[in-house]
Structure 1
């Protein structure tokens, strides 16, 4: 028996009820062309007898996707393409790198129940907060956990603000970032990005 495959198949009906569609080890929730993605990752340390796995999750913005190279709205994005992403442990107490463990003698229903509790209590609230572009903007404006790199946050945030026509906030974000990045490599990257989105005060 493929333990990991069995776990995914057992989890599938519950996530389907939440609005997700399964593709491989990914589950997709689509709202207004944006995607919330839940990805089950099996550890390389897994064997046929023992499986270790964790959950990655994220949000993909269609607006930001259109601004990126090789955009294809007919292909669902992978978890690595999400503009905001995390691993479930980041939102657990003390932020552990959390992995579930299952073997041939494990009670799979108990493990599935625990996984679904994490999806319901941890993952879904975080995805729902950011599934709209407005939610992503709020996240990047007010939260310390950016779900991307510092320069990634700047690029995504300024691109969304420009697309929304919120030039007052865009000016504030651009000025604050450029001041903070003076003399650092990110300053040049940010300058080039602002040219690309045709930003001017």
Structure 2
């Protein structure tokens, strides 16, 4: 069934993403903008067998300055969803229970193609459209932050720092410093020239 998945990626999934300006590497897609990228990963289930495969889509917003500052690593040649902020599975975007696409010898491949195509065209691509610039990313992270839903408190701080909001970056870094991870935060603050004392 892995061959059927590979064919689905080659004939249906890749052309849809490439038509919208995404580049492909393996089971990963990225659309590059000057300061960030939209990222997609096709994740295969670890329980896949030769008779049945399951997969789903993971999405993310990659920002090189945030990734390299936080992880202290060089910029990757290809931005991956794994290195991204705002990482969501397609089920999160659709606000449904986690749902894997399944291919087995009982599967109607044409139905799977239709479902995948519909989800890319009507769910994933419209979701990405809300992120046209760094301001859009900051706005979404601010809303999540107000609700206590951020995945990493430093994403917003670093976006403030690198994209023209030094006072907000300083204020936020100090607030986060008072709550936890003091040693790491002090190190991060020093790296970007912010004093938290």
In the superposition, the TM-score normalised over structure 1's length comes to: 0.81
> What's the counterpart of residue 46 of structure 1?
48
CA distance in 2, matches of 1:6, 1:33: 33
Classify 1:19/1:49 alpha carbon distance in 2 versus 1 (closer, same or farther; 3 Å): same
Listed as ranges, the gaps of 5+ residues in structure 1 are none
Deviations 1:84-113 (A, max 9, x none): 3121112223x4222111113422222122
> What's the counterpart of residue 155 of structure 2?
156
Paired residues in the alignment total 190
> What's the counterpart of residue 29 of structure 1?
31
Classify 1:161/1:81 alpha carbon distance in 2 versus 1 (closer, same or farther; 3 Å): same
Kindly indicate whether the alpha-carbon contact (under 8 Å) linking 1:79 and 1:85 is maintained by their aligned counterparts in 2.
yes
Listed as ranges, the gaps of 5+ residues in structure 2 are none
> What's the counterpart of residue 191 of structure 2?
196
CA distance in 2, matches of 1:190, 1:140: 19
The CA RMSD measured in Å over matched residues stands at 2.4
Q: Which runs of 4+ in 1 moved over 4 A?
A: none
CA distance in 1, matches of 2:66, 2:34: 13
In the superposition, the TM-score normalised over structure 2's length comes to: 0.82
> What's the counterpart of residue 96 of structure 1?
97
